[in-house]
Amino acid sequence: MSKTDLAWLTERPIAHRGLHDLNHEVWENTLSAFKRAAKKNFAIECDVHLTADNEVVVFHDNALGRLTGTDGFISQRTAAEMTALRVGGTKDHPPLLSQLLDTVDGKVPLIIELKGIPGYDDGLVEAVGRQLEHYQGKVAIMSFDHWLIRQFPKLPDIPAGLTALGTDNKDFEAHFSMLGHGIDFVSYCLAHLPNPFVTYIRKRLKMPLITWTVRDEAAMRFSAQHHGQITFEGFDPEIAVA
């Protein structure tokens, strides 16, 4: 996939963990949420972890309790054990990344956030890269975790980004240090805009900017003022601008 033309990354609003309904009936990071997003032609953001047997599962938290009501951690479970769980008491199970890719099948762009757990994420970047090697759709990866971002150049053909927040100089120094590792875009906390780091990557480097997490029309307008595409949940951005 070309990293020189990333216009697709900010063309459409991005459904945060899929087009869920704040975990009432359609839960985050499930195939149901991803199908809903694709049907509405929204791009999809999702989160991935490494299982105990080195498979990639789509799930936000390291702990299992909030989403499955089960004790323990992803790092203690195999892929088979993860997919046997149920999310929020629904029929949905935590999907493997391979199942997400088969479901979306290039219909809409995917932005995959890699969740690092020190001591338990060795091989996560490579495992995601293997899954994406032959995927034909538009896809990008990103992470908060700087030790994972330092590994992103191992995947030279996949657009890669920094997920970030913070408002003080220590935060900005850490973010600027990531520019030496080949990142192609930034996903920044909307509540922490504007700031010098985002101004630099937008005006000097011309990098695409994604903002998170946008939950209403006012926040959507604020994001637009800073030239960021929204990562949204809890409302329909197309209805808001109708």
What is the Cα 147 distance to its own chain's centre? 17
Mean residue pLDDT across the chain: 96
Three-class DSSP category at 119: coil
pLDDT over 60 at 1, yes or no: no
Domains and CATH numbers, the chain: 8-235 (3.20.20.190)
> How many other CB atoms are found less than 10 A from the CB of residue 135?
18
Furthest CA-CA distance within the chain: 48
Mind listing the pLDDT tens digit for each residue in 65-84?
999 999 999 999 999 999 99
Q: Tell me how far apart the alpha carbons of residues 128 and 18 are, in angstroms, rounded to a whole number.
A: 19
The H or E element containing residue 49 is strand 43-50
Confidence of residue 3 (pLDDT cuts 50, 70, 90): confident
For residue 215 the two structure tokens come to 């939950």
Three-class DSSP category at 145: coil
CA distance to 1, 60, 154, per residue, from 165 (Å): 28, 17, 25
Residue 28 phi/psi, 5-degree rounding, is -60, 145
> Residue type for 195, please?
N
Q: What mean pLDDT do residues 11-18 have?
A: 98
196 in Cβ contact with 188 (< 8 Å): no
Please, which residues bridge with residue 12 across strands?
A: none
For residue 9 the two structure tokens come to 């990354």
Q: What pLDDT score does 177 carry?
A: 98
Closest CA to 129 of 99, 103, 151: 151
> How many other CB atoms are found less than 10 A from the CB of residue 236?
14
Q: What mean pLDDT do residues 230-240 have?
A: 94
Mind listing the pLDDT tens digit for each residue in 25-77?
999 999 999 999 999 999 999 999 999 999 999 999 999 999 999 999 999 99
pLDDT over 60 at 242, yes or no: no
Q: Tell me how far apart the alpha carbons of residues 148 and 141 are, in angstroms, rounded to a whole number.
A: 11
Mind listing the pLDDT tens digit for each residue in 144-197?
999 999 999 999 999 999 999 999 999 999 999 999 999 999 999 999 999 999
pLDDT over 60 at 91, yes or no: yes
Q: What pLDDT score does 22 carry?
A: 98
Q: What pLDDT score does 240 carry?
A: 75
The residue written with tokens 């089960």 in the block is 70
The H or E element containing residue 112 is strand 110-114
210 in Cβ contact with 220 (< 8 Å): no
